[in-house]
Amino acid sequence: MALTGVLRPGIIQLRVLDMDDAIVHYRDRLGLQEVMTGDDGRVYLKGWDEFDHHSVVLREADEAGMDLFAFKVADTETLDQLAADVAAYGFEVSDVPAGEQPGVGLRKSFEIQSGHTIQLYAEVEQAEKTPTIVNPDVWPEEPRGMGVNRFDHALLYGPDIDQVTDFFCSVLGFSVAETAETPGGIAVWLTCSNKAHDIAFVPIPDPNSFHHVAFFLEEQNHVTHAGDVMAFYDIPIDVGPTRHGITRGRTIYFFDPSGNRNEVFAGGYTYYPDNPTRSWTADQIGKGIFYYERELNEAFLSVYT
């Protein structure tokens, strides 16, 4: 697949209640690499299999949740065109200057119908530690903790998801890989690549709500190992290990010390733009979310930050 326009999820900025606890969780337990701490106290991390300067930003705050989700686009010309298209669609677009996050160029920022802040950027420096590209080993250094490879996707909650879907597809060029009938309406799994999803939305009345951030693992055995790490360190587990019907991914959901839900995710089907949209009806939504259990965990629907 020739990827153009929006390439992939790039950066997620999370609010945490205690930075020291959060660093231990994301660096030592999940296995992200700590890149640096900024002058304002924000902490920057990345997965061992990522080339960019960082992908996860932690900001200490009084309330947990997500500040922003940023996508990497192909080049500066694409960034300018997409920013113009977003403005023409009716959103107010503001500039976040280069360097506001270390190593990241100009970002275009706007709020979508669900209340979430979405950003686009084209330029980012490479990290000091990256995967090797000449005679590369499987990993650049031995992974620690759960050994997560990369920031993979996020699931967001909010209103007007039908309008959100229209914006992502008609302006940003995403495709709807999968849908599901939920108690609040139609949930969508959206992709800009050949992954089963790069971002997903579930309809609820509360705007700007954050359900989970997901980190990629290569295979099911790594998901099992992650579960062992969670059990050893008494990390609160929400659901799993199990499998999704939607996306087919192997999964465990758990919580960081601030109450932000995390996921480790492996597998998932390959998506191509000419694929039809897969769909799940209301009477099968339990199997769609948790394929083996075939029923919903109530906390999975109702707990978010």
Catalytic residue, chosen from 44, 50, 263, 271, is 263
Active-site annotation holds for 153: yes
Q: Closest by alpha carbon to 239, among 303, 300, 291?
A: 300
> Using 50, 70 and 90 to split pLDDT, how confident is the model at 203?
very high
The β-bridge partners of 262 are 213, 254
Instruction: Kindly state the tokens that stand for 271.
Output: 């998506």
Q: The sheet that has 65-73: what strands, in order across it? A: 33-37, 43-46, 56-60, 6-16, 65-73, 117-121, 107-111, 94-96
Instruction: Tell me the whole-structure pTM to 2 decimals.
Output: 0.97
* Mean pLDDT value across the chain: 96
Give the CA radius of gyration of the chain.
Answer: 18
Within a 10 A sphere around the Cβ of 74, how many other Cβ atoms? Answer: 14
CATH of 152-302, one of 3.10.180.10, 3.30.465.10, 3.40.50.300, 3.30.70.250: 3.10.180.10
52, 105 Cβ separation under 8 angstroms: no
Query: Cα separation of 60 and 186, whole Å?
Result: 33
Determine the average pLDDT of the residues in 197-203.
Answer: 98
Instruction: Kindly state the tokens that stand for 214.
Output: 């997901």
149 SS3 class: coil
**Predicted confidence (pLDDT) at residue 126 exceeds the cutoff of 70:** yes
pLDDT of residue 2: 65
Instruction: Kindly state the tokens that stand for 248.
Output: 């087919």
pLDDT of residue 54: 98
Catalytic residue, chosen from 25, 54, 244, 304, is 244
Catalytic residue, chosen from 197, 222, 271, 304, is 197
What's the farthest any 2 CA atoms get from each other in the chain?
Answer: 51
Instruction: Kindly state the tokens that stand for 141.
Output: 């250094």
Catalytic residue, chosen from 25, 153, 211, 222, is 153
Classify residue 246 by its DSSP letter: S
Q: What is the CATH number of domain 6-121?
A: 3.10.180.10
Look up tokens 């990629």; give the residue. 216
46, 127 Cβ separation under 8 angstroms: yes
Angle at 215 between CA 70 and CA 162, to 5 degrees: 50
**Predicted confidence (pLDDT) at residue 1 exceeds the cutoff of 60:** no
| pLDDT 10s digits, 140-197 | 999 999 999 999 999 999 999 999 999 999 999 999 999 999 989 999 999 999 999 9
Determine the average pLDDT of the residues in 105-133.
Answer: 97
Determine the average pLDDT of the residues in 10-34.
Answer: 98
| CATH 3.10.180.10 boundaries in the chain | 6-121, 152-302
**Predicted confidence (pLDDT) at residue 296 exceeds the cutoff of 90:** no
Active-site annotation holds for 253: yes
Active-site annotation holds for 54: no
Catalytic residue, chosen from 212, 222, 271, 304, is 212
| pLDDT 10s digits, 265-276 | 999 999 999 999
Catalytic residue, chosen from 121, 253, 271, 304, is 253
Active-site annotation holds for 263: yes
